[in-house]
Chains A and B, each alone.
Chain A
Amino acid sequence: MTAIEQAIAQHGLTREEYQRIVERLGREPTLTELGIFSVMWSEHCSYKSSRVHLRTLPTTGKRVLQGPGENAGAVDIGDGLAAVFKIESHNHPSFIEPYQGAATGVGGIIRDIFTMGARPIALLNSLRFGPLDDPLVRRTFAGVVAGIAGYGNSIGIPTVGGEIAFDESYTGNPLVNVFCLGIARADEIVRGVASGAGNAVYYVGAKTGRDGIHGATMASAEFDERSAEKRPAVQVGDPFMEKLLLEACLEVMKTGALVGIQDMGAAGLTCSTCEMGSRGGAGVEIDVSLVPQRESGMTPYEIMLSESQERMLLVVRQGREAEVERIFDKWDLHAVRIGTVTTDGRLRVRDHGSLMAEIPNAALTDEAPVYHRPMARPRYLDEAQQLSLAALGAPAPPKEVFLRLLASPGVASKRWVYRQYDHMVRTNTLVVPGMGAGVVRIKGTTRALALSLDGNGRFAYLDPFAGAQLAVAEAARNVACAGGQPIGATNCLNFGNPERAEIMWQFARAVEGMGAACRALEIPITGGNVSLYNETDGRAVLPTPVIGVVGLLEQAEHAVRRAFRTEGDAIVLLGEARAELGGSEYVKVMHGLVRGVPPVLDLAREAALQRVLIEGASSGVIRSAHDCAEGGLAVTLAECCFDTGLGADVRVPALEAAVADYADVAALFGESASRVVVAVSAERTAELLALAAREGVPAEVIGRVGGERIHLAVSGRTVVDERLADAERVWSSGIDRYFERQQAIA
């Protein structure tokens, strides 16, 4: 290998890509330029494998104020306000160093929100880990949770919800997807643009060190046994610095002295300078010797590629510099002028005046490579989609299954996790974690927002199109259960190596499914994130498309929780079950398999169901609502009972199954889509049934709230009859039991 070939390979570029660089520049690049191209053309920054597919997603709508392409998306929520939100992955850093990886993920997504001029008011997260009986997984899990808590709590933004699932495929490659939402005045949204020749380019925040150099290229590579050696590429977060930046930036934005602002996240100074220039149709010239540095002897290459956290790049209107500097000084932050906006559309990097790099912004951004990667339907599918119940033998008694599922970490109470998150700070949290979608009120208005993140890797593995659709439906349904009208979404697509045709096929089908579901439910996707190369030693994670849906409640006090509230209320099942066990928690927990086909989803029926939920919440007829997901109707009913300690006596609708032995199992634990358990007072039951009938949604009174037991019968036979307190003990210790004191750190 020649020296140049070696340099190309070390930078994660292909020979063809290098050739394109030479052609575009009309010469060989300098080392600094090669570094700049390598991060901007990495999968993480360029979306080169995913872009052709992402273009098909619906991104417009009457409420959309900002679609994809900015630091975050924004939707109109009335009263002149905008909800600004986005989801990001921090999977690879979180495996290498769980605490800091997760913490800096939170820090990054918060910066994306406040750079838009929005005050962040809520965080959520979607997490995937291997099984908790593995001590290494426990350490990763505990570290990630502590990292999310450490950052979010310190900066004072509540973590109001999320979801967690476990599967062997995530053991060496956990998924850490973090979501943040903020509120801005709709007419004061700030964008990441550099424009106006002569305007000053400012650097503010933490000093630049050698941390995280090539983080973006790392996020675009698979793990192998040598990944542990990549430790130096991990950034360390400083939430206190970020809190100061947040307050100072919001204060600066109010002055109108800013042209644009962008976080130095992945690919640091490189990405922020060329992207801001590109968006504003301008050039940016900086001198790296002016950049505040934490270590001595840093080269221009290192300064341009550093991913030190908590740094922002600002473009300030000429003549307003002193005003901006004064505000940062108040917060003990020192904004430093490092460059100037130019007219020539180029990124020009100097070091003590000498030119180190000069690249047209467009070459780094719009003209980055775009690949139509080959796709092929995975060979595993035909076999994996076959679920032969007969071959599984006779099912365990329903009571045993019920308790096993409640104890399964995927289903069990996540209190161990969310107790570590400050979920109440800012005093807006109307529905706390563990009670369905998180709901936060918008002070100064009557409104509230319901937020839910969902994804089901098992379903997506068995059918990526259906799996992605089911994720959208579930997130929207959760928001609707709380009474929120879904108005926007953000997606995080976690897949394996896109250079493998089977992975690319999974990805493309999932994006198609997500797009179809969002179109049918009229939910625009205003931005998101793609995380590829989630593999360990050549084995990919379950394809995991995660979606975050934002729902709007006109009246905050109409927010609905999942827990039963009143003894004697009727329990109504909205929606209809089929004998569907494919990809279910049951098949996984009881038989250790991920097999079958995911539940059928009829998007028109789903939309109708959500209309019933939203209207039922606003009219007050629905007292509690909880969607049927992992573990099916039986688990859903149990969860409705736990918070208030009110029992339930339920006649579970009987089903016919191809294998008769499995009829009860399917009725109790099947995961048919578009089903919700609601409670309604006796007096208003008819009103709810009429509302459902009007929308063509099947609705049936299946039982009554009350007592101290959870009693479930099928066709007159008692199948589950447990003291609620006993069932709750099993459920609430499902995760805690792995973290008894002696295991706390080991």
Chain B
Amino acid sequence: MRARVFVTLKPSVFDPQGTTVADALHTLGYAAVRNVRQGKYFELDIDAQTAEDARKLASEAADKLLANPVIESYRIEVGNA
């Protein structure tokens, strides 16, 4: 199974990289881009019988290592590798 983990900064946390990218897009003429938030994306290939098992493991990995709960939150998608 493949779990996709999307880690993003919590909405309340300032994101200097996202702000810089947004500024750059504006100078390139993309005025319609209102805001940019930068995040991280992980692909976990997991030996698991069911999607539920894979999700459980990915969620543990995210809690323990992939995301820092002080500043980040995450979302998981599970599918076939």
Contact = CB atoms under 8 A, between A and B. Distances in A.
In the complex they form, whether A and B have CB atoms below 8 Å apart is answered with yes
Contacts of B20: 741, 744-745
Please list the 7 inter-chain residue pairs (A to B) with the smallest Cβ-Cβ separation, ordered nearest first: A745-B24, A746-B27, A746-B24, A742-B27, A742-B23, A744-B20, A741-B23
A155 to B, nearest CB: 23
Contacts of A745: 20-21, 23-24
Contacts of B33: none
Interface in A712-746: 741-746
A741 B21 CA distance: 10
Interface string A264-308: 000000000000000000000000000000000000000000000
A183 B24 CA distance: 43
Contacts of B23: 741-742, 744-745
6 contacts: A741-B20, A742-B26, A743-B27, A745-B20, A745-B23, A746-B28
Among B21, B24, B28, the one with the most A-chain Cβ atoms within 10 Å of its Cβ is: B24
Interface in B22-49: 23-24, 26-28
B67 to A, nearest CB: 21
Interface residues of B, number: 7
A143 to B, nearest CB: 13
A736 to B, nearest CB: 16
Contacts of A743: 27
Contacts of B26: 742
A436 to B, nearest CB: 33
Contacts of B28: 746
A743 B25 CA distance: 10
A6 to B, nearest CB: 39
Contacts of A746: 24, 27-28
Nearest to B28: A746
A739 to B, nearest CB: 11
Given A742-B27, A743-B27, A745-B24, 14 more contacts: A741-B20, A741-B23, A742-B23, A742-B24, A742-B26, A744-B20, A744-B23, A744-B24, A745-B20, A745-B21, A745-B23, A746-B24, A746-B27, A746-B28
A746 B22 CA distance: 10
A743 B27 CA distance: 7
A744 B24 CA distance: 7
A490 to B, nearest CB: 37
A439 B45 CA distance: 50
Among A741, A742, A744, A745, the one with the most B-chain Cβ atoms within 10 Å of its Cβ is: A745
Nearest to A135: B27
A741 B23 CA distance: 7
Contacts of B24: 742, 744-746
A744 B20 CA distance: 7
A100 to B, nearest CB: 18
Nearest to B20: A744
Nearest to B19: A741
A58 B12 CA distance: 63
Nearest to B26: A742
B28 to A, nearest CB: 6
A744 B23 CA distance: 8
A87 to B, nearest CB: 33
Interface string A624-667: 00000000000000000000000000000000000000000000
A554 B56 CA distance: 64
B35 to A, nearest CB: 16
A743 B24 CA distance: 6
A745 B20 CA distance: 7
Contacts of B27: 742-743, 746
B49 to A, nearest CB: 26
A631 to B, nearest CB: 32
Nearest to A744: B20
A703 B27 CA distance: 48
Interface string B2-31: 000000000000000000110110111000
A741 B20 CA distance: 7
Interface string A494-533: 0000000000000000000000000000000000000000
A743 B20 CA distance: 9
B36 to A, nearest CB: 11
A743 B28 CA distance: 10
Contacts of A741: 20, 23
A589 to B, nearest CB: 27
A351 to B, nearest CB: 29
A745 B27 CA distance: 9
A432 B64 CA distance: 41
Contacts of A742: 23-24, 26-27
Interface in A183-236: none
B14 to A, nearest CB: 14
Nearest to A741: B23
A745 B38 CA distance: 15
Nearest to B24: A745
A217 to B, nearest CB: 34
A744 B27 CA distance: 10
Contacts of A744: 20, 23-24
A99 to B, nearest CB: 15
A746 B21 CA distance: 9
A297 to B, nearest CB: 19
B65 to A, nearest CB: 17
A744 B22 CA distance: 11
B61 to A, nearest CB: 20
B48 to A, nearest CB: 24
A741 B26 CA distance: 11
A399 B35 CA distance: 45
Nearest to A746: B27
A726 B62 CA distance: 53
